[in-house]
Structure 1
Amino acid sequence: MKIMRNGLLLLVLFALYYLIPLEFRHLWQPDETRYAEISREMLVNGNWVVPHFFDLRYFEKPIAGYWINNLSQLIFGHNNFAVRFGSVFSITLTALLVYWLTLRVWRDRATALMAGVIFLTSLLVYGIGTYAVLDPMITLWLVAAMCSYWLAVEAPTTGKKVLAWLLMGFACGMGFMTKGFLALAVPVVAILPWAIQQKRFKELLTFGPLAVVGAAAISAPWAIAIARQAPDFWHYFFWVEHIQRFAEANAQHKAPFWYYLPVLILGCLPWLALLPGALRNGWRDRRESSGSFYLLCWVVMPLLFFSIAKGKLPTYILPCFAPLAALLARQAMQLMAVNGRALKVNGWINLVFGLICTIVVVGFLAPWGVAKHSVYGHHEVLKVALAGGAFLLWGICGLITLKSPTQRWSWAALCPLALALVVGQAIPDHVMDSKQPQQFIHGMRNEIAPSRFVLANNPGIASGLAWELRRSDILLYDQPGEVQYGLSYPDAQGRLIKGSDFAQWLEQYRREGSVTLVMLLSRTEDNPDADVPKADFSYRQGRLVMYQYKQTP
């Protein structure tokens, strides 16, 4: 009965964290609107080989992540839940793999279960796991590779060892088709130190080629198909998306080497106090418990790998949190049996974090706050209450764990729950106006939809228009952004309208039908009307402005 009750409680918490909020948050640009639209276009045109964005070739990522999103939209339809469910599905399978590997390493179901719970409730995992990007998918495949190698290590027979290596290759191949060559590099970087320490390097060389065979077998059909349909894909994808992003001076999202340290610390909340001991024990037990050191290698080595790269984003280290969750769970279980000092510290961290964030929201970000420029407007009192209340409940959950740290430490899993449920309704209007164009577009849909031509000065806004209007013929105004390469093809001529040419273009093409231009203004742009021809109708909401030009005879 107790097992059934606990299982039902976990399912309810999972639904509250990962399912219910999905539909009630507007899509963010540029990421969520981009991946929503690319998958929508794949379903419409039936081409599941070459990704297209506004009917332009889009070579920034391979195909497998889109396939998961395609299936989600195919099953659940054209809605925000479907856009994000691919990420949730991937994170859920990853959590099950974390449970499996933790159970295989330490043979303790309670530790394995807590590893899955810690993984799903870690702030970075939840934040990215309910967000429509490809990082949850690549995390799934990298963790599958991590589990497959451990399966190979424990295999009692040569036949089972061969199958495990092939399974690892399958996971790496799917990872390669999701986000590229890093899915092949990260497992090598993570496994090599452990194999050397365990004196398994010869075995790695002997069976490693099987993983290469497995990866090639699963990825070759698509790799050949896209080479035939888009011969320049591999040149662009390898040199621009890998070499430049990883090593060259002009890499996107440049950040210092230490960038991921604060990301790791904040991402571990609400389990932060367990982090030092978990990492220390993983190293200390490297001889007595090879599994602990194996998990540590999968945390530290990929973290160093991504830190060396010039281009950095918080989402890149999401795979590190799967093995880290297992180490954190092991540390917590050991503390329960010895002393609860670190568990008590964890409660204090959550209490202080919740109170500080509450004070920041209510005392600084609110319209009556002491900050020079408040984040919330005077009409957003309810949003201030929701945000402040969510962080206050975080602190209260931390306080509850302090009452009996060794018995209630796991209640920390409830700390982010209120934030997860209300974050979509607590975002300030000025952030929504610039980062969530879905609300603006949905409100103006009846005015925009009849337009013969629709233009946007930002690919993120353009993808929001395409998704909401269910049309891929959105034109780019003045800024090509991330679709610059797709616009270079001869059959894409005319899809980018330069600002200096817009008046002349408008005079010619409005004869064919009405024209709508949607622009995302810069923070310092006060008079955008001076840059475009006088419109028949205009509407502005925050940094978003719409201009409409009626058809002329």
Structure 2
Amino acid sequence: MKLMRNGFLLLALFGLYYLAPLEFRALWQPDESRYAEISREMVANGDWVVPHFFDLRYFEKPVAGYWINNLSQLIFGHTNFAVRFGAVFSITLTALLVYWLTLRIWRQRATALLASVIFLTSLLVYGVGSYAVLDPMIALWLTAAMCAYWLATEASTTAKKIAAWLLLGFACGMGFMTKGFLALAVPVIAILPWAIVQRRFKELVGFGGLAVVGAAIISAPWAIAIAQREPDFWRYFFWVEHIQRFAEENAQHKAPFWYYLPVLLCGCLPWLALLPGALRSGWRERRQSPGALYLLSWLVMPLLFFSIAKGKLPTYILPCFAPLAALMASEAVRLAAINGRALRVNGWINLVFGLACTLAVVGFLAPWGLAKHPDFAAHEQLKVGLAAVIFLSWAACGLVTLSAPSQRWPWAAFAPLALALLVGAAIPDRIRDAKQPQAFIREMKSQIAPSRFVLANNPGLASGLAWELRRSDILLYQQPGEVQYGLSYPDAKGKFIAEADFAGWLQQHRREGSVTLMLVRSRDNENTDAEVPKADASYRRGRLVIYHYAQTP
């Protein structure tokens, strides 16, 4: 009965964390609206080989992540839930794999279940796993590769070993088709040190070819198809999206080597106090517990790899949290058995974190706060209250833990719950109007939709328009941004209008039909009326402005 009750509780928590909020949070641009629109265009056009964005070639990523999102949209329709469900589905499968591997290593169901709970409630995992990007998909395939190799090491027959190595190759191949060559590099980097320590290098060399075969079998059909359709894809994808992004001095998102240290620490909340002991135990048990060392290798080696790369984003280290969750679960079970001090420390961390964030919201970010430019406007007291509730709830979970640390330490799993349920309603208008234009676009849809031409001044805003209007013919104005490569093709002529050319373009094209121009204004220049020809009508919300030009004879 207790097991059934706990099972229902976990399912209810999963629904509250990962399903209930999906539809009711507006899409963020540029990421969520970009991936929503790319998949919408693939489904609408029936072309599942070549990704397009505004009908332009978009070669920043391969195709498998889009396939998951395509299926989600086919099943759940044109909804925010569908946009995000592909990420949730992937992170859920990853949690199940974490459960499986933890159970295989320590043979304790409680530890395995706890590992999945820690994984799903870690701040970085939740933040990325309920957000429509491709990182949850690559985390799934890398975790599958981690499990497949462990399965190969435990195989009792040659046939089972061959199947496990092929499965490893399939996982790497799907990862390759999701985010590129790093899905082939990371497993090698993670497995090689462990194989050398465990004297399995000869086996690695002997059976490694099977993984290559498995990866080739699953990825070759699409790789060949896109090379035939778009001969420049592999040159662009390899050189620009890998070499330039990760290694060159002008890499995108350039950051220092230590960048991921604070990301890791914050990402481990609300389980942060378990981190030092988990790392220490993984190293100390390396001889008597090869599984602990294996997990540690899958955590540390990819983390070093991403730290050495010039280009960095917080989402890149999401795959590291699968082995980390297993290590932290083992450490938590050990501490609970001995009433370890770290469980009390974890309660204090959550209490202090919640109170500090509440103080930051009420004392600095609120309209009466000390910040020179508070994020919340004078009319947003309710949103300030919701933000305070989010972090006070986090602090309350820490306080409950402190009342009996050895028994109530699992209450940390509830700490981010208010954040999951309320964050969409607590976002300040100034951030919403710049990064979540969906509500404004929906409100103005009847005015925008009849326009013959629709323009936006950045790809993120354009993708929001394309998604809401269900049309891919949005034109880019002022800055091409991430679609500059797609605009370089001859068949993309006319898709971009420079600011200096807009007046002449408008005079000519409004004879064919009405024109709508949507802009997001910079904070330094919130008066754009003087920069564009006088419109017949204009509509504003915060930094967003829509100009409508009626058709002329």
Alignment of structure 1 residues 245-284 onto 2, 5 Å: 245-284=245-284
Shift of 1:421: 0.3
1:543 aligns with 543
For residues 282 and 507 of structure 2, the distance between their equivalents in structure 1, rounded to whole angstroms, comes to: 68
State whether residues 526 and 543 of structure 2, in contact with CA within 8 Å, keep that contact through their aligned partners in structure 1.
no
State whether residues 49 and 226 of structure 2, in contact with CA within 8 Å, keep that contact through their aligned partners in structure 1.
yes
TM-score (norm 1): 1.00
Shift of 1:526: 2.9
2:230 aligns with 230
Alignment of structure 1 residues 328-343 onto 2, 5 Å: 328-343=328-343
Shift of 1:505: 0.4
Q: Does 1:197 align with 2:197?
A: yes
1:169 aligns with 169
2:446 aligns with 446
Secondary structure class of the residue paired with 1:99: helix
Shift of 1:439: 1.3
What code does the residue aligned with 2:234 have? W
2:437 aligns with 437
Q: Does 1:502 align with 2:502?
A: yes
Secondary structure class of the residue paired with 1:551: coil
For residues 214 and 444 of structure 2, the distance between their equivalents in structure 1, rounded to whole angstroms, comes to: 50
For residues 117 and 454 of structure 1, the distance between their equivalents in structure 2, rounded to whole angstroms, comes to: 45
Shift of 1:369: 1.2
Structure 1, unpaired ranges of 5+: none
Q: Does 1:148 align with 2:148?
A: yes
For residues 239 and 372 of structure 1, the distance between their equivalents in structure 2, rounded to whole angstroms, comes to: 43
Shift of 1:187: 0.2
For residues 371 and 43 of structure 1, the distance between their equivalents in structure 2, rounded to whole angstroms, comes to: 46
For residues 533 and 353 of structure 1, the distance between their equivalents in structure 2, rounded to whole angstroms, comes to: 50
2:371 aligns with 371
For residues 235 and 373 of structure 1, the distance between their equivalents in structure 2, rounded to whole angstroms, comes to: 45
For residues 206 and 276 of structure 2, the distance between their equivalents in structure 1, rounded to whole angstroms, comes to: 36
2:31 aligns with 31
- How many residues of Structure 1 are paired with residues of Structure 2 in the alignment? 553
Shift of 1:399: 0.5
> RMSD in angstroms over aligned alpha carbons?
0.6
Shift of 1:521: 1.1
- 1:169-208 CA deviation, whole Å, 9 max, x = no partner? 0000000000000000000000011001101111100000
Secondary structure class of the residue paired with 2:199: coil
Shift of 1:463: 0.2
Alignment of structure 1 residues 508-523 onto 2, 5 Å: 508-523=508-523
Secondary structure class of the residue paired with 1:455: strand
1:8 aligns with 8
For residues 506 and 378 of structure 1, the distance between their equivalents in structure 2, rounded to whole angstroms, comes to: 39
1:79 aligns with 79
2:393 aligns with 393
TM-score (norm 2): 1.00
Alignment of structure 1 residues 286-365 onto 2, 5 Å: 286-365=286-365
Shift of 1:529: 1.2
For residues 251 and 372 of structure 1, the distance between their equivalents in structure 2, rounded to whole angstroms, comes to: 33
Alignment of structure 1 residues 408-427 onto 2, 5 Å: 408-427=408-427
- 1:389-430 CA deviation, whole Å, 9 max, x = no partner? 110010001110111111110110000001110000000000
For residues 403 and 153 of structure 1, the distance between their equivalents in structure 2, rounded to whole angstroms, comes to: 44
Shift of 1:339: 2.6
Secondary structure class of the residue paired with 2:184: helix
Q: Does 1:472 align with 2:482?
A: no
Secondary structure class of the residue paired with 2:273: helix
> Could you tell which deviates more after superposition, 370-379 or 543-552?
370-379
For residues 101 and 406 of structure 1, the distance between their equivalents in structure 2, rounded to whole angstroms, comes to: 26
Shift of 1:473: 0.2
For residues 137 and 300 of structure 2, the distance between their equivalents in structure 1, rounded to whole angstroms, comes to: 20
Shift of 1:365: 0.7
Secondary structure class of the residue paired with 1:202: helix
Shift of 1:527: 2.1
State whether residues 244 and 250 of structure 2, in contact with CA within 8 Å, keep that contact through their aligned partners in structure 1.
yes
State the identity %: 78
